Amino acid sequence: MEVATVQGQKRPLAGHHANARLRKEGLVPAVIYGMGKAAEHIAVSQRELLAALEHSAHVVKLVVDGREEQYLIKEVQYDHLQKMPLHLDLMRVDLTKKVQVNVPLDFRGTAAGQAVGGVVIHVMADIEVECLVTNIPESIRVRVDGLQLGQSLHVRELELPEGVTALAGSDDIVCVCRTPRGGLEETPAAAAAEGEAASAEPEVIGKGLKDKDEEAAEAPPKK
């Protein structure tokens, strides 16, 4: 697995205005935590971070004051357009131990059921897996070519890379080929698959754009 290199620099714990200045300078505020050590507050190159994220990187090699270490990208907060990173969470990891991460699914092919008017519904956009940091895949390819109208593809049918284990239930639905609403008359199999997929669709909870430094600055002091 090729690991992208990102340049960083130390920064004092600061609030909204200081972070805004960093962003104007082409830097992204970030925090490093984990493994029982104190959190470190840094700023990283926005350009290099974007390049890493464009390749679906889960791990970055961070260079601060000439010291190189690999960290797991735990969370990235974006602006309201979901284009520019506002804040980055990095987690210290033991390269010899397994971690749990969400990996995007890469759907390929045309389902057989589409030839008779079906549509493929992606129930999952990504999937949580467990593996060594060095084995984290950029994505997991999902072939839908053999999917007939009314059929579903389940987690147990995914072809996972060696050393990677899916944490979702083996019977969880990844995608389904069904008749579009208002289209052809629905077959019993398609209706059953649609109902199964609907029950499997996850709830999506939106996140605010306030980063952790601002929350820390606004929190009342402990007595």
Sequence spans of domains, the chain: 4-93, 99-200
φ/ψ bin of 114: left (φ > 0), alpha (ψ from -120 to 50), beta (otherwise)? alpha
**Right CATH for 4-93 from 2.40.240.10, 3.40.50.10490, 1.10.20.10, 3.40.50.1970:** 2.40.240.10
Q: Going by C-beta distance under 8 Å and a sequence separation of 6 or more, which residues neighbour residue 77?
A: 85, 86, 87, 88, 207, 209, 211
- For the chain, give the percent of residues with pLDDT over 70: 80
Whole-number pLDDT of residue 54: 86
Whole-number pLDDT of residue 203: 38
Among 18-22, 77-81, 105-109, 196-200, which is the least confidently predicted range?
A: 196-200
- Nearest-CA neighbor of 57 among 34, 25, 90? 90
Q: Whole-number mean pLDDT of the chain?
A: 85
Whole-number pLDDT of residue 120: 97
**Longest Cα pair distance anywhere in the chain, in angstroms?**
67
Spatial distance between the Cα atoms of 41 and 187, rounded to a whole number of angstroms: 57
- Given a cut of 70, is residue 207 above it in pLDDT? no
| 3-state secondary structure (DSSP) of residue 68 | strand
- Nearest-CA neighbor of 155 among 132, 129, 187? 129
CATH, range 99-200: 2.170.120.20
pLDDT tens track for 90-103: 999 998 999 999 99
Whole-number pLDDT of residue 57: 80
Q: Which pLDDT band, with edges at 50, 70 and 90, does 202 fall under?
A: very low
pTM: 0.70
Structure letter (DSSP) for residue 118: -
Q: Which residue has the tokens 């970055």?
A: 60
Whole-number pLDDT of residue 50: 93
Q: Are 70 and 62 in contact (CB under 8 A)?
A: yes
Whole-number pLDDT of residue 149: 96
Higher pLDDT: 199 or 15? It is 15
Spatial distance between the Cα atoms of 138 and 135, rounded to a whole number of angstroms: 9
Q: Going by C-beta distance under 8 Å and a sequence separation of 6 or more, which residues neighbour residue 108?
A: 141, 142, 143, 144
